[in-house]
Structure 1
Amino acid sequence: MNQTILKRYIAIFLFIATAAVNGWAATLTNRSFTSPNGCIIWNTITTGDSITAFDISYRQDKNSKTHHVTTITEFGVETKDGAGHHLRLVDTSDPHPVFETYAMIVGKKSICTNHGREVVYTFEDDVKRQQRLVVRLYNDGVALRYEMDNLLHTRVTTEHTTFRIDEGTKRWMQKWNEPYEDFYPLATTGNDNNHRWAFPALVEAAPKTWMLLTEAGIDGGHSAASLYNDKQATDYRVVADEQRQNTSGRWVSPWRLALIGGLEDLVASTLVTDVSAPCRLKDTAWIQPGGVSWIYWAHNHGSRDFKIVCQYIDMAVALGLPYVLIDAEWDEMGNGGTIGDALDYAQKQGVKVLIWYNSSTAWLGKDGAPGPHFRLNAPERREREFAWLEQQGVAGVKIDFFAGDKQETMQYCIDLLEAAARHHLMVNFHGATLPRGWQRTYPNLLSTEAVYGAEWYNNSPVLTDKAAAHNATLPFTRGIVGSMDYTPCTFSDSQHPHITTHAHELALAVLFESGLLHWADRPESYLTQPKQVKQLIGSLPTTWDETRLLAGYPGEQVVMARRKGRDWYVAGINGTNERVTLEFNIDFIGSKKTTTTVFTDSGNASSPWHINSKRKGRIVCEPRGGFVMVIKSK
């Protein structure tokens, strides 16, 4: 063979090989896509022509090293009528953009942007039923859900979505319980006698690479879900709670979310509300977030006593708080007045009233639970009760003791929110499930408990030694997903002592966002504080235009900045038992035409406050201490 012919054969071979390689590369490209900023990467894992898993990785920017975050080792759903087995991929859409801007009344940010890229995988099972896996990549995480059409009186019985968290990986996860009240202890293994875990779950996947698992988009046809790793310690399955309701026609699952990025990205993320249904209320002008004086922490049965209730109404007036909560057993009020007298007194003092109810679904009267009972369960009773509240000028309700995550409870919560909105009542769910985006759909939901909060100083000594580290963990776990009714900032003691400092306690009112911010301490404790402290309590915003994490690590320390209008509130706490220096950068705020007030601990028990105007990004914190810095525009 002469050299000319040989060169031609080599050229043809190279052309075919190059074309084949380029074609294969194109196929692989179609099997992966990225977030709008290119930092979150979604890859398919295939065996032959079948997708067997999905891999998620992250890089801080396009020039950074890519870190593996998690693998979704299983996916798909099965239904009661036998469908959902042996899924086979039949189609994959091209990535297409998702974009909207929406406003929030309550939350870490007032104007939010839902900006992502979506791919839809269509699978067919062995009975020829199709189900779609919808995947969205955002700059701050991944959202996925399932869709099916043409169902006939059936329901999903099993979901296979499974996130792998390798052994040795640091994670902060709460053991599931009905009211979501427990700690988020640091662990590096999934080997535990407990195999059911609550959302949200925080994972340090790699250096400066974090993941928070949670869910959103629960409607009345769904139960809420939790994570199980009972089959394999590393594999956390999404398992829905009890659900008996069948459906026909179209079915869409809740969103399964993995918030991904640096801690600052997770803390600022609005992904939970981004993927939730838009606001369903036409008129929201009557929804007015604000501070609340709260009786229960100091007086368990205080709402039975008219004179004590009046003290808390007077406290609201003295501090400039717009609301007072009249808690459990108000239907038994005595000692000089009834609930009607208390409402009249509050109205004369210019204070709006919130009133407590037992949901009567979990802890009932026969078990010693406080009342009133069974006033909200039946639709006709609920309408009658809410109409009476509206007529009396009551501003909202706190509803307590819900029966976990089952579908029936989710429907009941939505019924309550819709009925309350019809009667212009704001809502606080207590003893209830985790926020999963309802705060966007029903903005009259201003707060939810679902947290081991200051109320537990009343119940047992469990918080005394653990509160500081717990408080420094919550901004990275529970606090990310929605308003949190922690009932913060208590300077005195309830039934059991606290050993966090005054400045630590004050900082919690900034760090823990809640549309209805309940100030739980005794009137005499608040009213004996320095003038500047009382002024801050009365003027502190309960909704924010912007939130930034400035420094921190779960369980150790946190520094956060929140903006309201042109004013900034910077707060930090020390979660350890040692004196530490908190360092952070606030140059982004600017210093021209501003005034600064800084609240720190003096270290002197008899005179605990040090209040000054020194603006700086380095503050020495006492053990279990904290600070608040208020930077106001002139």
Structure 2
Amino acid sequence: MNISLRNSLAALLLMAASTGALAEQNKVASPDGRLVVNVEDRDGRLYYDVCYDGKQIMQPSQLGVVANIGDFSQKLVYRSVSNHEVKDDYSLRNAKASTIHYRANQMSVVYENEKKLPITVTFNVSDNDVAFRYEFGEVNERTHIIIDEEKTAFRLPSQTTTFLSPQSDPMIGWMRSKPSYEEEYTPDAPMTAKSKYGKGYTFPCLFHVGQDGWVLVSETGTHGNYPGCRLSDYNAEEGYKLEFPMEGECDGRGAKNAAFPIPGATPWRTITVGSTLKPIVETTVSFDVVKPMYEASEQYKPGRYVWSWLIWQDNSANYDDQKQMIDLAATMGYEYVLVDGLWDQQTGRERIAELSRYAQQKGVSLMLWYNSNGTANEAPQTPRNCMNTVVARKKEMKWMKSIGVKGIKVDFFGGDKQHVMQLYEDILSDANDYGIQVIFHGCTLPRGWERMFPNYVSSEAVLASENTFFQEHHAKQEGFELTMHPFCRNTVAAMDWGGTIMNRYMSRDNKSRHRRYTSDVFEMAAAIVNQASIQCIAMYPNNLSELPQHEISFLRDVPTQWDETRFIDGYPGKYVVLARRHGDKWYVAALNGTNKPLSLNLSLPMLAGSEVSYYYETADKKSFWPKSAVKKTKVGKDGKMKITMQPMGGSIVCE
């Protein structure tokens, strides 16, 4: 070979190396072949990218961690790859579908760091979902690993717009109780927009990649094994980086990094991809890649609950008011009454036991509110210091079981550090021992918990209905918020929004304070759109005489357990149409989050040719609220049906 040819070849090889062409590449595709993940190393750093229908939906983004046993983010050397199929058929009682058939192709890529210690990155790729995590084997003389930083990144194309909720500063807000996933979403924002507090964004994170489709990023499988994570602000070179909790969370107590025994693995990072919003709304990836952590101690019951506090507030935790709510629940055929904070002071334990007996005689069970503190924040409501230690917790739960209490709502957690995630796990596990279901408020995003913990019901982790009471601004925003969550917060996990509100004014007399800005049918449809196996229907005794009979009849029968969910139409923050199946009966619910009438031509193949009940509204010039009505009609043989919604209104179609 002559010198000039040798020099040209060397130059080509150098150029190829500098562009990553000589890097080790491994690919895995979804079963239908449309979603492809490519993993490669560049100068000792590990990257992945994601393509859907041949379009790069996630640009090369870094992988790796920095740990006490070594740096697994640079100077990595490829060792091996293995592939196999994943099949998992399972059932859920408390999610958007009851029977799920998970099929994915799995690729595990092994690299070694500078110390010759291996890290395995495992990718599961199903037809619209990517889930990946880091796995670590045994290391001589090491029993565990401490991860100080993840280099995990998500770098989206430049045309991407965002639908994100910011992470708040720690120890701010009411009684220093934040962060609690209760910030406002901003729709259709550029990636370059800075988060409100400069602390990035809470999961889940929704992205619109223009004509190329939609991407939802989140995580699942987090419990006491890891802190809850979030995304950083956007950086043009790195994209969004995974961030651990802030130092100041939990009033500065506890480590912000992660630790777990080895062999072991991190939680899963998830990416859901679709050319439309259908895969985003219908995804089950949060549950697909996790496993149950224990068996249910009994068959837990779904249902509806009434809740005095939302409108009647703190002073309603007394015996007489709660007795009224029990009577209301019994009249409506509801399964539960939630007795909120201060019940220990206003009613007392002996009379709570009496209330529980009264409720059970009427076929109703009580759920009780508890403050999780502790020392995480300054929230003063009682009962306190009953859920933060195992001794106190088991004593309290033993008492609850003895009087027939079937559920708890635990409020005011202090952040996402690992010891707080362990507290969630401990509360759930102990509650299961006593046959108690659990709702969390003032809390983190649940991450696969519906499958992991059989007595888990739902979490708030959202700017919820209480804010429509506190501020007229949020009453006006309810349409936007409830048409946002089916595409992000509520699609990855059950959400305790806290009430289908039937009072027209935010007051006990239903005449004063600010009004509700949504229609009656909007609120009724929200009971279907908002997903949780125990759903709050925030009715009050006055509603029984104020509401039309067709509304009461619908609310009496509305289910909360779903066998199937289908996305029909919608756009985040503007409108949404979902179809949910309960047994052999379909419910199609539509919400209009805008201030203008909206007509839609729906495709409802599951109801083609069927006679249905259609709940609709007509404008009422004499009232703030449109008039609701119900009529029998037929869906076209082709499955087509036209609906019209009033501003901040709704529609329901059901068999």
Q: TM-score, normalization: structure 1?
A: 0.89
Give the Cα–Cα distance (whole angstroms) in 2 for the partners of residues 399 and 368 of structure 1.
12
Give the Cα–Cα distance (whole angstroms) in 2 for the partners of residues 362 and 582 of structure 1.
51
> Is 2:316 aligned against 1:316?
no
The 10-residue stretch of structure 1 (329-338 or 131-140) with the greater mean CA deviation from structure 2: 329-338
Counterpart in the other structure of 2:587: 569
Give the Cα–Cα distance (whole angstroms) in 2 for the partners of residues 452 and 377 of structure 1.
24
Counterpart in the other structure of 2:135: 147
The 10-residue stretch of structure 1 (438-447 or 607-616) with the greater mean CA deviation from structure 2: 607-616
State the shift of 1:526 in Å.
Answer: 4.7
Give the Cα–Cα distance (whole angstroms) in 2 for the partners of residues 464 and 117 of structure 1.
45
> Is 2:581 aligned against 1:601?
no
> Is 2:374 aligned against 1:340?
no
State the 4+ residue runs in structure 1 displaced beyond 3 angstroms. 26-30, 44-48, 230-234, 242-248, 334-337, 361-364
Matched position secondary structure for 1:467: helix
Counterpart in the other structure of 1:226: 230
1:101-250 paired onto structure 2 within 5 Å: 101-151=89-139, 152=142, 153-177=144-168, 178-186=179-187, 187-192=189-194, 194-207=198-211, 209-229=213-233, 232=236, 235-241=239-245, 242-243=255-256, 246-250=259-263
> What is the aligned length?
594
Matched position secondary structure for 2:304: strand
Determine if contact 1:195/1:230 at 8 Å carries over to the other structure: no
Residues 356-391 of structure 1: CA deviation (Å, up to 9, x unaligned): 111014665xx4521100012221111111011111
> Is 2:477 aligned against 1:466?
yes
State the shift of 1:206 in Å.
Answer: 3.5
How well do the aligned residues superpose, as a CA RMSD in angstroms?
2.3
Give the Cα–Cα distance (whole angstroms) in 2 for the partners of residues 188 and 310 of structure 1.
51
Determine if contact 1:570/1:630 at 8 Å carries over to the other structure: yes
Give the Cα–Cα distance (whole angstroms) in 2 for the partners of residues 361 and 140 of structure 1.
41
> Is 2:268 aligned against 1:255?
yes
Counterpart in the other structure of 1:610: 629
CA 1:457/1:560 → structure 2, altered by over 3 Å: closer, same or farther? same
Tell me which of 408, 423, 430 is aligned to 2:441.
430
State the shift of 1:52 in Å.
Answer: 4.5
State the shift of 1:506 in Å.
Answer: 1.1
Counterpart in the other structure of 2:16: none
State the shift of 1:126 in Å.
Answer: 1.0
Instruction: Return the letter of the residue paired with 1:157.
Output: D
Determine if contact 2:206/2:214 at 8 Å carries over to the other structure: yes
State the shift of 1:482 in Å.
Answer: 1.3
1:384-423 paired onto structure 2 within 5 Å: 384-423=395-434
Counterpart in the other structure of 2:248: none
Matched position secondary structure for 1:433: coil
Tell me which of 44, 48, 67 is aligned to 2:39.
44
Matched position secondary structure for 1:372: coil
CA 1:608/1:378 → structure 2, altered by over 3 Å: closer, same or farther? same
Give the Cα–Cα distance (whole angstroms) in 2 for the partners of residues 408 and 28 of structure 1.
40
Counterpart in the other structure of 2:286: 272
State the shift of 1:298 in Å.
Answer: 1.0
Give the Cα–Cα distance (whole angstroms) in 2 for the partners of residues 93 and 181 of structure 1.
42
State the shift of 1:183 in Å.
Answer: 2.2
CA 1:109/1:279 → structure 2, altered by over 3 Å: closer, same or farther? farther
Gapped regions of structure 2 (runs ≥ 5): 1-20, 169-178, 246-254, 507-512, 636-640
Counterpart in the other structure of 1:511: 529
Give the Cα–Cα distance (whole angstroms) in 2 for the partners of residues 369 and 321 of structure 1.
30
1:291-302 paired onto structure 2 within 5 Å: 291-302=304-315
Determine if contact 1:108/1:513 at 8 Å carries over to the other structure: yes
Give the Cα–Cα distance (whole angstroms) in 2 for the partners of residues 53 and 244 of structure 1.
23
Give the Cα–Cα distance (whole angstroms) in 2 for the partners of residues 527 and 235 of structure 1.
55
> Is 2:554 aligned against 1:536?
yes
Residues 120-167 of structure 1: CA deviation (Å, up to 9, x unaligned): 111111111111111111112101100112252540001001001344
Give the Cα–Cα distance (whole angstroms) in 1 for the partners of residues 217 and 375 of structure 2.
27
CA 1:444/1:563 → structure 2, altered by over 3 Å: closer, same or farther? same
Matched position secondary structure for 1:198: coil
Q: TM-score, normalization: structure 2?
A: 0.86
CA 1:615/1:473 → structure 2, altered by over 3 Å: closer, same or farther? farther
Give the Cα–Cα distance (whole angstroms) in 1 for the partners of residues 261 and 57 of structure 2.
37
Identity score, percent: 27
Determine if contact 1:72/1:161 at 8 Å carries over to the other structure: no
Tell me which of 572, 579, 582 is aligned to 2:600.
582
Residues 44-72 of structure 1: CA deviation (Å, up to 9, x unaligned): 35547x5642211112xxxxxx3221124
Counterpart in the other structure of 1:327: 340
Determine if contact 1:165/1:234 at 8 Å carries over to the other structure: no
Counterpart in the other structure of 2:12: none
CA 1:86/1:203 → structure 2, altered by over 3 Å: closer, same or farther? same
Tell me which of 24, 47, 51 is aligned to 1:53.
47
Give the Cα–Cα distance (whole angstroms) in 1 for the partners of residues 463 and 354 of structure 2.
34
Matched position secondary structure for 1:559: strand
Give the Cα–Cα distance (whole angstroms) in 1 for the partners of residues 430 and 185 of structure 2.
34
CA 1:124/1:527 → structure 2, altered by over 3 Å: closer, same or farther? farther
CA 1:623/1:509 → structure 2, altered by over 3 Å: closer, same or farther? same
Gapped regions of structure 1 (runs ≥ 5): 1-25, 60-65
Determine if contact 1:297/1:521 at 8 Å carries over to the other structure: no
